[in-house]
């Protein structure tokens, strides 16, 4: 007697594939920037600096936002739409707070005289943190769109793909921020 095995082919959704290609590109960009930072810090005119306190608060906020998004995704999968909407709204607010705290951090740097033109080490800080902030702004825009869709009473879309994409991207920018903060602290 022979046994017939049926294989289920699993294919990655095209949007997920595109997101992973984008994440790979972003990782390469930040790998290049952090590598250049390491090389440049051996120059004679390199100046060390302390990171602003606002960056620490923003780190706590973005980690908390990843937790609320994780809860939102879990609620979506369980069809607990009221909890999903609430957690998406909280995640959105936390994303906005993260951006505000980053702006406050840049203002703290500016008042200390740590400006783009002052020194090459400061320029690297602004470019690295600023590029990350731009990626978070993109994530916040996506959170706005997803939150509006979640609260739309006329359209009911229960596709997990956009939720998974948002989840992956947001956790990525969270982990990237923690890495960048640790990098800037350890590699002075």
Q: Model-level pTM?
A: 0.86
Ordered by start, the domain boundaries in the chain are 50-186
Question: How many Å apart are CA 22 and CA 28, to the nearest integer?
Answer: 10
CATH-assigned architecture of domain 50-186:
Up-down Bundle (1.20)
Q: Which pLDDT does position 2 carry in this prediction?
A: 58
pLDDT tens-place values along the chain, 188 residues long:
556 556 666 788 898 999 999 999 999 999 999 999 888 888 877 788 888 999 999 999 999 999 999 999 999 999 898 999 999 999 999 999 999 999 999 999 888 887 767 678 888 888 999 999 999 999 999 999 999 888 887 767 778 899 999 999 999 999 999 999 999 888 76
Q: Alpha-carbon torsion 149, 151, 155, 161, what sign?
A: positive
Q: Which pLDDT does position 11 carry in this prediction?
A: 83
Q: Angle, to 10 degrees, between the axis of helix 53-77 and the axis of helix 81-111?
A: 170
Report DSSP state, residue 161.
H
Question: How many Å apart are CA 23 and CA 181, to the nearest integer?
Answer: 19
What residue has token string 């290609």? 21
Q: Which pair of tokens denotes residue 100?
A: 């505000």
Q: Which pLDDT does position 44 carry in this prediction?
A: 79
Question: How many Å apart are CA 1 and CA 176, to the nearest integer?
Answer: 54
Query: Rounded to 5 degrees, what angle do the CA atoms 171, 172, 177 make?
Result: 100
Q: Which pLDDT does position 122 carry in this prediction?
A: 84
Q: Kindly give the residue spans of alpha helices, DSSP state H, lying in 41-113.
A: 53-77, 81-111
Q: Which pair of tokens denotes residue 168?
A: 């992956």
Query: Closest Cα partner for 181 from 67, 80, 51?
Result: 51
Report DSSP state, residue 113.
T
């Amino acid at each position: 007697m022979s046994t017939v095995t049926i294989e289920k082919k699993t294919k990655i959704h095209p949007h997920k594939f595109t997101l992973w290609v984008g994440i790979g590109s972003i990782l390469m960009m930040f790998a290049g920037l952090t590598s250049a930072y390491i090389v440049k810090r051996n120059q004679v005119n390199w100046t060390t600096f302390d990171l602003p306190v606002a960056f620490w608060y923003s780190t706590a906020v973005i980690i908390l936002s990843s937790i609320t998004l994780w809860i939102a995704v879990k609620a979506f999968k369980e069809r607990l739409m009221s909890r999903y909407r609430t957690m998406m709204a909280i995640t959105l607010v936390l994303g906005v707070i993260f951006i505000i705290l980053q702006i406050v951090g840049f203002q703290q740097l500016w008042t200390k005289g740590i400006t783009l033109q002052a020194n090459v080490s400061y320029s690297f800080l602004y470019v690295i943190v600023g590029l990350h902030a731009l990626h978070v702004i993109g994530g916040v825009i996506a959170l706005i769109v997803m939150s509006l869709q979640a609260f739309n009473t006329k359209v009911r879309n229960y596709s997990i793909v956009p939720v998974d994409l948002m989840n992956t991207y947001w956790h990525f920018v969270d982990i990237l921020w923690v890495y960048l903060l640790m990098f800037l602290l350890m590699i002075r």
